[in-house]
Chain A
Amino acid sequence: MTVRKNQASLTSDEKRRFVAAVLDLKRSGRYDAFVTTHNAFILGDTDNGERTGHRSPSFLPWHRRFLLEFERALQSVDASVALPYWDWSTDRSPRSSLWAPDFLGGSGRSRDGQVMDGPFAASAGNWAVNVRVDGRTYLRRALGAGVRELPTRSEVESVLSMATYDMAPWNSGSDGFRNHLEGWRGVNLHNRVHVWVGGQMATGVSPNDPVFWLHHAYIDRLWAQWQRRHPGSTYLPGGGTPDVVDLHETMKPWNDTTPADLLDHTAHYTFDTD
């Protein structure tokens, strides 16, 4: 059974294996297909039209399935690898071990934002940014430049306390847990972390930065924590909502899985804290 661990508690061997598996997917071209899929949904999901991956109730189950696909790809390279999660409310500094050269590498240099150390630096020769929205082919970051502070634990708690999963109009204007976690409204958790990292993470092609997976693995864990805290609450809407994925409707691009199928993460993995 896959156990997803806090990135801060990984051994050096676990870090090395995770990085090697990610680089293997990159080399084979499988990695970039994930970036392409994500950007297609970023461009296609709209507040007043069809919306599946973002700004909608299915933001959470869609990313849960997306991460499962990526994790299975990693495990086809090295069966011992699981996705780690980044608790940015605790590891909130550019000096965190997450950003060390033996793991994801650090922030970008000031001149052009280029990441200069770690396994994903362009200079290491293994990480060309191919699926991109501008001409730059190197991984970029500007940790803490776009916004100074990552969300705090008390801000996370304030969102976890919201008992209603999601609310009409089921988009970026909604009240409720999902949209506050996604960050279009309120204290802003998920969106703010993308902005804090900067570089490609602030764009539609954000999975170009491997930290994308660790960020979303933590968002996914917060959904699991919310479920535990609100056992009487569930995914909404329950049915008949135009342009929105209802509980028992299948999700693109897979078309074989519904939010209902993905509510229980323990069918697929557990967390180190479960």
Chain B
Amino acid sequence: MPELSRRRALTAAAAVTGAALVTVPAARADDTHHDAHGSHGSPEPFDEVYKGRRIQGRPTAGGGHHHGGGYGVYVDGVELHVMRNADGTWISVVSHYDPVPTPRAAARAAVDELRGARLVPFPTG
């Protein structure tokens, strides 16, 4: 966890453990609702510890190298390449063929898939 101290990770993990089951559906519905407002709208930022790993998502400035429609997703501080489909669903490079409703769901699917492994930063350019 290069950008997150162990103490902060454990604290955050403890904080979300109890609440996760009740907050997840609401958060998903909220993201989906927001996504529905148009293909150019950006989903809300998120920041949580999921299965012991910090996942974050936020709009990014200036386009750049990824294709999340100006939205960046990070797992323990390393950017996860995500992409938004025409129907508003999302995929990531570690779960490329299985669309999910929101970038947060893509981040969680990536954590499930990684089983603790670190992401390799994708080439920027």
Contact = CB atoms under 8 A, between A and B. Distances in A.
A173 B87 contact: yes
Interface stretch (A42-50, A87-95, A249-257, A264-272): A42-50
Contact of A173 (B83, B86, B97, B119): B86
A194 B97 CA distance: 7
A172 B117 contact: no
- Interface centre among A55, A132, A203, by most chain B C-beta atoms within 10 angstroms, is A203
A273 B114 CA distance: 41
A242 interface: no
A206 B96 contact: yes
15 contacts: A44-B67, A46-B67, A46-B83, A48-B39, A133-B94, A133-B119, A133-B120, A134-B117, A134-B119, A135-B119, A171-B86, A195-B98, A203-B93, A204-B94, A204-B96
A75 B99 CA distance: 36
Given A202-B98, A204-B94, 5 more contacts: A134-B94, A195-B97, A202-B94, A202-B96, A203-B94
Contacts of B47: none
Contacts, number: 75
Contacts of B84: 47
Interface in B42-66: none
Nearest to B112: A146
Contacts of A248: none
Interface of A: 39, 42-44, 46-49, 55, 112-113, 132-136, 146-147, 169, 171-173, 183-184, 190-192, 194-195, 202-206
Contact of A135 (B67, B83, B118, B122): B118
Contacts of B122: 43, 133
Nearest to A179: B86
B32 interface: no
A172 B98 contact: no
